[in-house]
Amino acid sequence: MQNLFGNSTNSTHSYGVAPQFNQTGPGALTRLNYTGTGTVGYDQAPIASSGAVSLSCGFGYIDAAFQAAYIGIGSAYYNRGYSCGRCVQLQCDDITCAHPGAQGVAQIVDMCGECQDADITIATPLFESLAGRPSNPTPSIAVSWQFVDCR
């Protein structure tokens, strides 16, 4: 798998939190527990059921529900691998999202060595589903997330 995380620093396009998250009243949106930047970091195609064996968590099998919905998280939340296999609810909080507040569930299969704080690396299919747009030319979005059950 090609990690594209480093390419995001060359982008001339900007992103930021959508104004709906700074409002109160009708139409206001709430961010989830952790906030950061989500950047595309894996190939376009969904991962094969055995394709995560080379990633940090070393899974020999990924359920079909998460083959296009997986992430890598920074070392603080990776927790020396104890977060491997946990699921997170992701929310697109970015102004560039087609529908700010769109959500999806992903499984943690990797550690993102480049990530700071609550930043994450997102599989391309999941990124495009959350953002409601292609990952190019802006491969990063403002996200919020929280741990959830993998149901």
pLDDT in tens, 1-49: 333 333 333 444 566 788 778 777 777 889 999 999 999 999 888 998 8
CA distance 39 to 88: 16
Q: Which CATH number fits domain 32-148: 1.25.40.10, 3.40.50.11540, 2.40.40.10, 3.40.50.2300?
A: 2.40.40.10
Q: Tell me the pTM.
A: 0.84
Whole-number average pLDDT of the chain: 87
Query: CB neighbours of 41 closer than 8 A, spacing ≥ 6?
Result: 3, 4, 5, 72, 112, 121, 122, 123
